[in-house]
Amino acid sequence: MPEIRHTPKAVTWIRPLAAGQAVEAHRHDEHQIVYAGRGVLAVTTDSGTWIAPGNRALWVPASTTHAHRAHGDLDLHTVGLPATVNPLGLAAPTALTVSPLLRELILAYTRDHVAEAPERPERRRMRAVLLDQLRASPQRPMHLPTPADPRLAAVCALLHDDPADGRTLSALGARAGASERTLSRLFRTELGMTFPQWRTQLRLYHALVMLSEGHSVTAVAHRCGWSSTSAFIDVFRRFFGHTPGARPRD
């Protein structure tokens, strides 16, 4: 990803983004917590894409070049933190579970922000509680890493184009000029997961995007490759903690 813009300070704000709207690649000198109060947010860096529905927030470390994209109409909430404040000690973008309390703290903290104004004592206390809640937030993988090996990239591209493609890794490898064994090794070493784990992540990614665009649960299940709507609902609930048709509040 080419670096386009450098923003010295990661400010706290609320910004509405229309469906499909993007924030160009940029970086800043402070850490950032980004959260979709409405819609689904995707954050892309050189190492891949993270996606967050309403019960996930994304941690973006200082100096990380990244871009945002809205899926569905999005309310983008961002909380900027000094580079010296890293409550989880995270050096890479990470998806975090948002509890009901943390959600309300992020919404209130960004809504109450006044640019360039001295921070009032009550806001400092709110931020302290927000950071305490952040420290308690479990990390939840929702990351599609970017493959480097051209054979692995070719297989990933095939499934990005059609997440319902049910071919085996061996059959996909025949198209990419690599054996199943080689591709299995590349999935583990480059992407940090097995092929079935990656394909599930990919399908969930596409499912979140399609749901944000208003597609029915049944249509999403079919177009993303699940054998039945109930199978899709089961995987989605286990991964995100709520059913596909529910607006997450936890």
End-of-domain residue from the set 135, 166, 193: 135
* Spatial separation of the C-alpha atoms in residues 225 and 223, rounded to whole Å: 6
Residues 131 and 151 placed together within one structural domain of the fold: no
245 falls within a domain: no
End-of-domain residue from the set 102, 135, 168: 135
**In total, how many domains does the chain have?**
2
Residues 35 and 155 placed together within one structural domain of the fold: no
| Torsion sign across C-alpha atoms 10, 110, 82, 20 | negative
Quick one: what percent of the chain has pLDDT higher than 70? 92
> What pLDDT, in 10s, does the model give residues 210-233?
999 899 999 999 999 999 999 999
- Enter the pTM of the model: 0.83
> How confident is the prediction along the chain (250 residues), in pLDDT tens digits per residue?
544 566 656 678 888 899 999 999 999 999 999 999 989 999 999 889 998 888 899 999 999 999 999 999 999 999 999 999 898 899 989 999 999 999 999 999 998 776 556 678 888 899 999 999 999 998 877 789 999 999 999 999 999 999 999 999 999 999 999 999 999 999 999 999 999 999 999 999 999 999 998 999 999 999 999 999 999 999 999 988 889 976 554 4
| Torsion sign across C-alpha atoms 155, 158, 162, 164 | negative
Q: What is the mean pLDDT of the chain?
A: 89
